[in-house]
Amino acid sequence: MPSTYSEPNMSSLLEQPNPSASDEEVLALVSKHYGLTGSLTRLTGERDLNALLESDEGRFVVKIANAAEQIEAGDMQAAALEHIATFDPALPIPRVRRSRSGRRVEPANLNGVDHVLRLVSFLDGTNDWDGPATPALGAAIGATLARLQQALRGFFHPAGGRVMLWDARHAGEIISWTSSIADPVLRRAVNSVLQRFPEQVLPALAGLPSQPIHNDFNLGNLLIDRARREVTGIIDFGDLVHGSRAQDLAVACSYVMLEAPDPLDIVQALVAAFSDHTPLLDEEVAVIGELIAVRLAQSVTIGSWRAVQHPANAEYILGDFEAVAQGIQTWLEIGEDQIHEALIEAAGVPANPDTSDRLEQRRAGVLSPGLPLFYQEPLHLVRGDGVRLYDAQGRSYLDAYNNVVQVGHANRRVIKAVNAQMRRLNTHTRYLFDAIVGYGELLTAQLPGPLEVCFFVNSGTEANDLAWRIAKTVTDNTGVIVTDHAYHGWTDAVIAMSPEEAIVGERAAWMDTVPPPGENDPKAQICRAIARLESRGHLPAALFIDSVFSSDGIFDLTSRYLTETAGAVRERGGVFVADEVQAGLGRVGKRFWGFAGDDVVPDIVTLGKPLGNGYPIGAVVTTHAIAEAFSQRGYFFSTFGGNPVAAAAASAVLRITLADDLAARAEHVGATLRDGLAGALQARGISAEVRGPATFIGVDLGSPELAAKLEDGLRSRGVLIGRTGSNDEVLKIRPPLIFNQHHARELLDVFSETLADIG
């Protein structure tokens, strides 16, 4: 197929009459290209010749396209069917019958006119039913459309960019055709919809999620088993284009509502079922009601115009004209506000969030004053998508701070995995179930060989708390060593080994510290810390190291830092715990784990934050020997730790991380960020150190005041970062791993602008 494609003109498909051929001519073409013989039964079609072929090899639909349709468009439809069959084999779609030459489509000449011929399998079923359409039918259609969109998401074909007047984005092109509408009241209603579309709706479509869409998901193109409340067939892909998924959803709504006694009820059911599978953005929900009106206006206008152009096919063209005409007037009478409120409810989008000031007051009434908010002007967030967060006023922020959402806010694949598992089973680990075992195998496969046994909890804090219990139990020692300004969690035990949060003068006697990597001698430092502990009556049970030193100010791991500190603790009977809550799962780049920057394998690894992309899950991974020693003297069980839904979320996150090679991306993007940040600071004459692995970056400004100005200045320009270090003098940049080079350049541009403004 050629690499580019365009239609001759937008109305060509609608101007040409349906292909004309005798049964003998059609059968001759089928015999020539497919080697099939049999009998034909003609089927209806808006602009193509369709016929049922009964052959010895089965039943097929013969499709001879309108003369205005180029061969690339026919190939796209067939290629899409093959793609869907591979991605979601259970979807009830026709299967493509390839020609004797192995092609998806063949050129066919009828009476000197070139057409496109293809064959697909015939689907048994009916789209006729008794009685009105119900919300259950709407739900079945919505769920099936969501599956179809998911199956088409990765499909590409050059003809996807073709221009069609059935594409809502071109609705403004048919305004002049409304003169064909005989009823003046109906004509005025249609004109009101089409005339406001270019300015009020079309601009919003450009920013919505887009992909290949069916674009004609109406009851005439579906087979329905009403008893089972299922869609059993999707039989026509003739209007396939690359467009917004909101268009696709609106088309489905616009036709099924014509068969329902309460249009809004069935539309709500369809949208709710769709959003269960594919959560909708606020911006999509905002335009669906208007897109429904647009589709109905298109149907009335194009039908009226085509009936004049093709009187021989007028009966088919105007088959549902009266219902559509009534439908658009009913829809407009319901009113924009009621429609939007119903759609918001169906999609689960929060409506009318409280004002930021009022919400802050309410928060102060029910949440602890020990939970401070970020930024001088707190952010009132209502949703996230990918690397962006959105506030109550609809403003977008580039999120360069939330490493919790490893694979991005509202990641569709994680949502799908969680949703599917929640529908099946959610319980605790006292039962056998596949999800947690499979995840444990997947996780330990990424770690060095001795680390093979998992304990699952709900957070990084719980993981560190359990690791501390295990260390004390298996060593019979009671002391711990951490870095100078470390943070390892909030339970009573691990807050005591988190100097970042400790009150001066109240450090526990069983805890001591060493500096993060730098100019110091790590072996000498660790030996002095061990000696101090022993002088207070505590042998070291464990060395806990956050290997990106996030709370210390973010440091690069120096050669032999872990080897020497862990070695000294092990010599005194302790274990080395690698706190990978911040560093792990590719955050540090291709080495994947923070501790892998040195030649040492931890005795215990703790994990949290990014494992579930925001779904609560943490883990402790250790050796069989340590796990067995602990189980003989200790007890562990967590009701929610490692539940099936948590395991599904974590499995999805890790599989996406590996499949999309996000660790390598982080390494490349991090290099761009570090070079760009250093260059911008140097250009302004600001002395600073930019450090940290991959996309876990610290910018040590040496000035808490300058760091605060930059943090708030970036926030005011739509970029979110944080601060760290003993005096909050280090900018902390740690975006989701899906951050790409484009996002990095956006951050650097805003960083340079902010530097310039603050002087």
Convert the pLDDT of each residue in 432-445 to its tens digit: 999 999 999 999 99
Taking alpha carbons only, the member of 116, 100, 201, 97 closest to residue 159 is 116
Burial profile 567-587: b = 16 or more Cβ within 10 angstroms, e = fewer: ebbbebebbbbbbbbbbbbbb
pLDDT band at 8; cut points 50, 70, 90: very low
Point out the least confidently predicted range of 153-162, 445-454, 718-727: 153-162
Q: Find the largest Cα–Cα distance for the chain.
A: 102
Q: What is the DSSP letter of 154?
A: T
Q: Specify the 3-state DSSP secondary structure of 269.
A: helix
DSSP 394-462: --EEEESS-TTSTT-BT-HHHHHHHHHHHHH----TTS--HHHHHHHHHHHTTS-TT--EEEEESSHHH
Structure-model confidence comparison of residues 131 and 205, the more confident one = 205
Contact 732, 721 (CB under 8 A): yes
* Helices marked H in 310-408: 314-317, 321-334, 336-347, 356-366
Convert the pLDDT of each residue in 691-736 to its tens digit: 999 999 999 999 999 999 999 999 999 999 999 999 999 999 999 9
pLDDT band at 447; cut points 50, 70, 90: very high
Report whether pLDDT(7) > 50: no
Pairwise CA distance, residues 117 & 532, whole Å: 85
Q: Specify the 3-state DSSP secondary structure of 600.
A: coil
Convert the pLDDT of each residue in 304-357 to its tens digit: 888 887 787 777 667 678 888 899 999 999 988 889 888 988 887 555 566 778
Point out the least confidently predicted range of 57-66, 356-365, 673-682: 356-365
Report whether pLDDT(519) > 60: yes
Report whether pLDDT(570) > 90: yes
The CATH number of domain 412-659, selected from 3.40.50.11540, 2.60.120.260, 3.40.640.10, 1.10.600.10: 3.40.640.10
Bridge partners, residue 383, by sequence: 390
HEC profile of 492-551:
HHHHCCCHHHCCCCCCCCCEEEECCCCCCCHHHHHHHHHHHHHHCCCCEEEEEEECCCCC
Residue 119 confidence (pLDDT)? 96
Query: Which numeric CATH code is attached to 135-347?
Result: 3.90.1200.10
The domain limits of the chain are: 12-121, 135-347, 360-407+662-758, 412-659
Contact 287, 246 (CB under 8 A): yes
Residue 3 confidence (pLDDT)? 37
Pairwise CA distance, residues 237 & 216, whole Å: 8
CATH-assigned architecture of domain 12-121:
2-Layer Sandwich (3.30)
DSSP 694-729: TT-EEEE-S-HHHHHHHHHHHHHTTEE-EEESTTS-
Report whether pLDDT(4) > 70: no
360-407+662-758 homologous superfamily? Aspartate Aminotransferase, domain 1 (3.90.1150.10)
The total of other beta-carbon atoms located within 10 Å of residue 212's CB is 26
Q: Where do we find the tokens 């999805």? A: 652
Pairwise CA distance, residues 205 & 217, whole Å: 19
Pairwise CA distance, residues 418 & 613, whole Å: 11
- Token readout for 449 is 């060989």
Pairwise CA distance, residues 570 & 576, whole Å: 7
- Token readout for 399 is 């999120």
HSE-CB of 67 using CA atoms within 13 angstroms: 13
Pairwise CA distance, residues 95 & 118, whole Å: 11
Convert the pLDDT of each residue in 106-141 to its tens digit: 998 888 888 999 999 999 988 765 678 888 889 999
Residue 189's alpha-carbon distances to 298, 300, 561, 584, in angstroms, are 12, 11, 75, 59
Query: 725 CB contacts (<8 Å, ≥6 apart)?
Result: 485, 552, 553, 554, 698, 700
Residue 256 confidence (pLDDT)? 92
Strand order in the sheet with 396-399: 381-385, 388-391, 396-399, 719-720
